[in-house]
Amino acid sequence: MSADIAVTAATPAAPPRRALYWSIRRELWENRSLYLAPLGVAGVVLFSMFVSTVGLARRRAATLLLPFDQQRIAIAKHYDMAAVVIMFTVLIVGIFYCLDALYGERRDRSILFWKSLPVSDFTTVLAKLCIPLVVLPAFAFMLIVTVQMAILMQSNAVLLAHHMPPTTYAQYPFFEEALILLYGLVALALWHAPIYGWLLVVSGWAKRATFLWAFLPLAVLCVAERITLGTTYFGKWLQYRLMGHATVAFNMKPHAVVNSISQLTPLRYLATGGLWAGLIFTAICLGTTVWLRRYREPI
C-alpha cells in the first residue's frame, strides 16, 4: 500500500493546459449524451423540415407577395426555429450534466480513482465548468450552422424542382445570421454562467436528489416572498438571470427578432452590471466546488 502511495506521489503532474484538455476529453468520453442528445434532436429537426417541404413552392409563392422585410422574417422563421430547438436542448443537457458532474463520481465512488491521478481539483472542476460554458456552445454553433445549411440546400432543391427562384442571400443572409448566432451563444453562455456554477455546487454537496436541492429552495423563496411581503422581486430576478441577456446584448423590442448585425450591442452587454455580478458569483461557486471535491466524502 505504501509503495502504491509512493508511486502516485512520484508521478509528475501534467502541465495545466494539457491536464485541462484531457480532463475535458474525459468528460466527453464519460458523458456521451452531451453530443448524442443534440445530434438526435438535430436529426428530428432535419426530418421535420424535409416533411415540411411538401407545399413549399406554394408557400414561397405567397411569401414573395409580401413586402421584402416580411419576406425575410417569413423565410428565416424555419431557420430560427431549428436554432431555438437545438439551443434549448443544449441548455437542458448542460443543466443535467452539471447536476451529475460531481454527484455521479461520489455516488459510484469513482472519485477515489480520479483523485489519485496527478490532476488538481481545480483543474477537474474547471474542466467540468468548461463543458456548459465553452464546449456545448461551440458544438451547438457548429451543429446549428450545419442544420441550417442543410435546410437551405434542401429548400432550394425543392424550389428549383418547381421552377421557382431559390432563396437569395438578400432574403436570408446565411453568414450574417451565423455571426449573430455565434454572438448570441457566447452572450447566453456567459449570462448563464452563475446558474451552472450553482448547479456544480449542489452536485458537489448533495447526497441525493440534486435536482430538488438545486431548484426547490429557489421556488420556496419565491413563494415565501410572495406570501410574507406580497412582492415578486426574487422571481423577477430569476427571470432576468434566465432571459435578461437579450435586452442588453441586442438592440431589439420585446418579442422581436434579430435579423441584422446592427442590432448587436456588445459594448452595452459588457458594461452591464448583471453580467459581471454573475461572473463573480460563478467564481465563488467555482472555488466552493473545488473545496467540496477536495473534502466531501463519497456517498
Question: Are the CB atoms for 63 and 74 separated by under 8 Å?
Answer: yes
pLDDT at 146: 95
Question: Are the CB atoms for 173 and 167 separated by under 8 Å?
Answer: no
pLDDT digits (tens, 9 = 90+) for 55-88: 888 888 888 888 888 888 888 888 999 999 999 9
Q: Which domain holds residue 68?
A: 2-295
pTM score of the predicted model = 0.89
Total domains, the chain:
1
pLDDT at 256: 65
Low-confidence ranges of the chain (pLDDT < 50): 1-10
- Other Cβ atoms less than 10 A from the Cβ of 193: the count is 21
The number of angstroms, rounded, from the C-alpha of 78 to the middle of its chain's C-alpha atoms is 21
Closest CA relative to residue 131, chosen from 43, 199, 39, 213: 199
Question: Are the CB atoms for 18 and 125 separated by under 8 Å?
Answer: no
Phi and psi angles of residue 44, each rounded to the nearest 5 degrees, phi first: -65, -40
